[in-house]
Amino acid sequence: MIPLAASSPEAADAANRCAPGLPESFCHQHEVTGCVGGNGLFCFDWAADNFDRYVGPFLRHLEIVAISVVAGFVIALGLALLSHRHRALVPPVLGATGILYTIPSIAFFFLLLPITGFGLATAVIPLSAYTLQIIYRNTIAGLANVPAEAKDAGRGMGMTERQLLWRVELPLATPEVVAGLRIAIVSTVAIATLAFLAGAGGLGQVLYEQLDFKTNIIMVGVLTIGMALVLDLIVVLAQRSVMPWRRAAR
Amino acid sequence: MIPLATVIDSFIGAFDFIFHQRDAVTGGDVQVGGLAYIWPFARTQLEVSAVALGGALAVGLPIGLVLGHIGKGEYFAVGFGNAGRAVPEIAVVFLLAALIGIGLGNVALALGILGLPPILTNTFVAMRQVDRTAVEAADGMGMRPWEVITRVELPLAAPTIMAGVRTAAINIFATATIASFVGLSTLGDFITNRSVYGDDGVVAGAIVIAVLAGLIELALAGVQRLVTPRGVKLQRAVRSA
């Protein structure tokens, strides 16, 4: 049998107190006065002094999100293009991605552990599976909403079906596809805080290491929400620069 | 890559844990496993989820209905839903545990907060999507505002509202697993206490959680079908025909 979960919270807590190999700052503080000792709501000084401990997990979090969303986007787009040709595929794909979406993330991680083991793959597979439904549904809707006049005009210009897809249909469907992508990114950033349960690390790992220290919880929460907002903003700006005609229309 | 035989063994072991009692890994004559053993954990998780969903409905539904009826606060109602997606569940659960302590009521409060955004946003959007001519007809018939809400807008908005309730319910139930980190004995106990339940218990817990989530989704999909007015169903059938 391979090792599965980290262990009980009590064991993890005890390990945190003075585990060999952990940096000094990870051990619980024993002072009973001051902001940290009294577990105040948010200790600015502590947060400023210990900011460096969040950098590594933050980048790891970003890596998990990036791999998951890119993989999910490629698969969902591929499925959408395939079912754009073969409409009969739409209900089964929607059904299958819907079932994946219903599996709670923690259960998904631990169901995969016996198959893929502790590590990045076990975190990325569920996270990318969750993005499929929303990106696929939005892409299908976007392609279906392309005005028939636009397609007729393209055909009249002598475009082949392939040219029509890449030069008329997909550009016109982009706003819906991007809307789906944005939802996928924001929710993946949030769910990835659980990726540490799959052994992939990320911001959830730092949270779990001191799960009763309020400053730590708030730092992780703020960094996670901040990452989601910044990534969302980047997508919006990228869409504007790629589709200047949308800006002109406003 | 892990050999297939090991993978199959893991899942056979997990199902054995679900259906049969066995000695705990820690020994000492403690028996774990079996449906009768797992049920109390499942019940706690279902209870805390039900309380949280009830609370989220009690707060989100009236606000969404009123805002949607008067057509104000779109920025708040929709933005709240979008912002809610970015909030990491685990941070909310731990922060509330650190702030107000542990226990079923406190965990339910944390879960309820997480369930609020989809309910509020869907209720608002659903109310705004109701055909304006139907509302004007109701006004013309001399209905009072709350009659318009409860007898015209709410039934027409019900399917979209239920979609939000489904999202909230699945979210809440999934997150209730984490409650075992803050001392509430939900199904998450099997996942976090490998030292007691063994690897079989961990996978068994994951299976039970996934199956229950699927059942909740199915049940609420049924409710959604029940609350969809016959007229709306007919309209859809005509449109798709």
Domain ranges of chain B: 39-240
Distance (Å, rounded) from C-alpha A185 to C-alpha A73? Answer: 10
Average pLDDT over residues B138-149: 90
pLDDT attached to residue B57: 96
Mean of per-residue pLDDT scores for chain A: 85
pLDDT attached to residue A12: 43
> What residues of B are in contact with residue A104 (Cβ under 8 Å)?
170, 173-174, 177, 209-210, 213
pLDDT attached to residue A202: 94
pLDDT attached to residue B25: 84
Which residues numbered 160-219 in B keep a CB inside 8 Å of some CB on A? Answer: 170, 173-174, 177-178, 180-181, 188, 191-196, 198-199, 202-203, 205-207, 209-210, 213-214, 217
Which chain B residue's Cα is nearest to A194?
A: B90
**Which CATH architecture best describes the domain B39-240?**
Orthogonal Bundle (1.10)
CATH homologous superfamily for the domain A50-249:
MetI-like (1.10.3720.10)
Residue A125, helix vs strand vs coil: helix
Distance (Å, rounded) from C-alpha A241 to C-alpha A235? Answer: 10
pLDDT > 80? residue A29: no
Look at A217 and B196 and tell me if their CB atoms are within 8 Å: no
Range with lowest mean pLDDT among A187-191, A244-248, B18-22: A244-248
pLDDT attached to residue A39: 81
Distance (Å, rounded) from C-alpha B134 to C-alpha B136? Answer: 5
Range with lowest mean pLDDT among A245-249, B66-70, B146-150: A245-249
> What residues of B are in contact with residue A105 (Cβ under 8 Å)?
174
Mean of per-residue pLDDT scores for chain B: 90
pLDDT attached to residue A5: 38
Which chain A residue's Cα is nearest to B204?
A: A111
Q: B111 and B49 in contact (C-beta within 8 Å)?
A: yes
Q: A211 and B96 in contact (C-beta within 8 Å)?
A: no
Distance (Å, rounded) from C-alpha A196 to C-alpha A215? Answer: 19
Which residues numbered 85-104 in A keep a CB inside 8 Å of some CB on B? Answer: 99, 102-104
Look at B202 and A5 and tell me if their CB atoms are within 8 Å: yes
Q: For the whole model, what pTM was predicted?
A: 0.85
pLDDT attached to residue A147: 92
Which chain A residue's Cα is nearest to B2?
A: A115
Q: What is the torsional sign of CA B63, B64, B66, B71?
A: positive
- Give the confidence band of A244 by pLDDT, cuts at 50, 70, 90: low
Which residues numbered 85-104 in B keep a CB inside 8 Å of some CB on A? Answer: 85-92, 94-95, 97-99
pLDDT tens by residue, A137-162: 999 999 999 999 999 999 999 999 99
Average pLDDT over residues A201-221: 90
Radius of gyration of chain A (CA): 23
pLDDT attached to residue A245: 67
Average pLDDT over residues B202-207: 94
pLDDT attached to residue B104: 87
Task: Compute the CA torsion angle B45, B50, B53, B59 (nearest 10 deg).
Answer: -130
Task: Please indicate if any CB of chain B lies within 8 Å of the CB of A11.
Answer: yes
pLDDT > 50? residue A6: no
Distance (Å, rounded) from C-alpha B32 to C-alpha B41? Answer: 12
Distance (Å, rounded) from C-alpha B153 to C-alpha B65? Answer: 9
Look at A111 and B202 and tell me if their CB atoms are within 8 Å: no
Q: Which residues pair with B22 in a beta bridge?
A: B32
Look at A102 and B82 and tell me if their CB atoms are within 8 Å: no
pLDDT > 70? residue A104: yes
pLDDT tens by residue, B148-179: 998 999 999 999 999 999 999 999 999 999 98
pLDDT attached to residue A24: 53
Average pLDDT over residues A31-45: 75
- B55 vs B22, more confident: B55
State the CB neighbour count (10 A cutoff) for residue A193. 27
Cβ neighbours of residue A209 closer than 8 Å, sequence gap 6 or more: A12, A16, A26, A216
Average pLDDT over residues B20-44: 87
Average pLDDT over residues B56-72: 93
Average pLDDT over residues B128-136: 90
pLDDT tens by residue, A11-26: 444 444 444 444 555 5
pLDDT attached to residue A149: 93
